Copies of this chain bind each other. A is one copy, B any other.
């Protein structure tokens, strides 16, 4: 089970009824958080998954509404008893930014490791302590900014008939299923002898604070869930979206359509838009399976049946 919670859905500043955009992902008890604005820890507390196993925080960019909550969250993770290292991924300079913010949190009781995303993005970064595979793709904002994709891979299916035909002892089966290569009676046994090709995994993509980025549909291709900013709902706000490097609902929907994703959640709403649902139709006429995000909107993705 791959659990996803939209911790907040606001942009620019936190509001009494809307926390700032942030996404929490959980698989096998380990968690990754994308962005951490002021108040993210409060809404995350209400999500109720705890703080201790947040193994990685991915920062799209360094604007305050995406990072100002970091020192408080890191302290709260510390209070949860964590002592394992925590990885923070972000644009070049991430260590400097986080260390500057943490001038008021000198006593974080676990190591921080920093991963800088090269300007061109990155792919296939295995997040330590988790089974999440992270990719980053350049967004198009007024500062270095990235879209993220998080994949959970799934091995192929074990074929016991093949294993028996090859006279592989039953006590070897489990190790082969886990991907190990073994030797038995002088014979090299590899997983592919008894496993089908890897099966379809699960994938979530995330893009905020951007004009529609070049190449994004390929980057998010076939994601089960695409969480994307719809800073404005009204088509007439397109000039403003262009000026401030944001997207309107229909642009997010167009990305979802081209990317062939399963579902689109809109987020990062302008404080000037109290009722994003008023504009949902502008997205749905392009991509039907669009949903308006709200604080702590949650879903669970499951592997397909074999």
Measured CB to CB, the residues of A under 8 A from B are 13-16, 37-39, 41-43, 45-46, 62-65, 67-69, 71-72, 75-76, 79, 96-97, 100-101, 103-105
CA distance A124 to B18 in the complex (A): 41
Q: Are A105 and B14 in contact (CB under 8 A)?
A: no
Q: Which of B46, B65, B69, B103 contacts A100 (CB 8 A)?
A: B103
Q: Are B101 and A38 in contact (CB under 8 A)?
A: no
CA distance A16 to B37 in the complex (A): 15
Q: Are A104 and B104 in contact (CB under 8 A)?
A: no
Contacts of A96 in B (CB 8 A): 103
Q: Are A68 and B13 in contact (CB under 8 A)?
A: no
CA distance A273 to B79 in the complex (A): 16
Q: Are B15 and A104 in contact (CB under 8 A)?
A: no
Closest residue of B by beta carbon distance from A20: B72
Contacts of A71 in B (CB 8 A): 64, 68
Q: Are A38 and B104 in contact (CB under 8 A)?
A: no
Report the minimum CB–CB distance from A147 to chain B (whole Å).
Answer: 20
Contacts of A79 in B (CB 8 A): 13
Report the minimum CB–CB distance from A166 to chain B (whole Å).
Answer: 57
Residues A13 and B76 in contact in the complex (CB < 8 Å), given A39-B42, A41-B38, A71-B64:
yes
CA distance A35 to B97 in the complex (A): 23
Contacts of A72 in B (CB 8 A): 13-14, 37-38, 64-65, 68
Closest residue of B by beta carbon distance from A12: B79
Q: Are B13 and A104 in contact (CB under 8 A)?
A: no
Contacts of A39 in B (CB 8 A): 14, 38-39, 42
Contacts of A37 in B (CB 8 A): 72
Q: Are B101 and A97 in contact (CB under 8 A)?
A: no
Contacts of A45 in B (CB 8 A): 15-16
25 contacts between A and B (CB under 8 A): A13-B75, A13-B76, A14-B39, A14-B42, A14-B72, A15-B45, A16-B42, A16-B45, A37-B72, A38-B42, A38-B69, A38-B72, A39-B42, A62-B104, A64-B104, A65-B72, A68-B71, A68-B72, A68-B104, A96-B103, A97-B103, A100-B100, A100-B103, A101-B103, A101-B104
Q: Are B13 and A41 in contact (CB under 8 A)?
A: yes
Report the minimum CB–CB distance from A269 to chain B (whole Å).
Answer: 16
Contacts of A100 in B (CB 8 A): 100-101, 103
